[in-house]
Amino acid sequence: MAEEIAVVLLAAIPVFEVRASVPLAIMVYKIAPANAVFLSVLGSILPILPLLWFLNNLTEHLRKVVSFDKFFAWLFARTRARSKLIEDLEIIGLILFIGVPLPGTGVWTGTIAAYLLGLRWAPTFMAGLVGTTIASILVTAATLGIINFVL
């Protein structure tokens, strides 16, 4: 059970997400691919609603502190620069943005972009679920050598 928890937790961490949790599950822990996808999707969607709550309720207060303001300014500028697809296609764009497992994409960045673009919580959560499922399947296929994909 500790291995499954490790996969879920790794999938919930920004930057790593399913790009790391799926290969860990399959190659190191020898978890069946379908279970690796399930655990990775579960871990990946865990932060969506807490992150949206945090962004909606605490960022304005934290931005009154200079160091937090600098961090949020950097984070939001970085996210806006990468969110053109989401801005143009909204929910479909968010699914595609999250679903392509490349550096700088994923649930964390997609959720922040959705917040910045004013997308509602429920569609953001559903797009995160669908997008991270797509990403998990692609990473699984790459891990198993079914597709040749640069992670």
Instruction: Assess if residue 122 is contained within a domain.
Output: yes
CA distances from 120 to 15, 28, 53, 80, 125 (A): 24, 38, 12, 17, 9
pTM of the model: 0.88
- Which among 11, 80, 78 is positioned nearest to 46, based on CA atoms? 11
DSSP state of 97: H
Residue 151 pLDDT class (50, 70, 90 cuts): very low
Domain count, the chain: 1
CA dist., res. 119 & res. 103, Å (int): 23
Q: Using CA atoms, how far apart are residues 90 and 84, in angstroms rounded to an integer? A: 9
Q: Is residue 43 part of a domain?
A: yes
Residue 2 has pLDDT above 70, yes or no: yes
Q: Is residue 151 part of a domain?
A: no
Question: What percentage of the chain carries pLDDT values higher than 70?
Answer: 97
Residue with the larger pLDDT of the pair 53 and 78? 53
Q: What residue numbers bound the domain in which 127 lies?
A: 2-143
Query: Is 53 a domain residue?
Result: yes
Whether residue 150 is contained in a domain is answered as no
Domain-embedded: residue 114: yes
For residue 93, the model assigns a pLDDT of 95
Q: Report residue 94 as tokens.
A: 């968010």
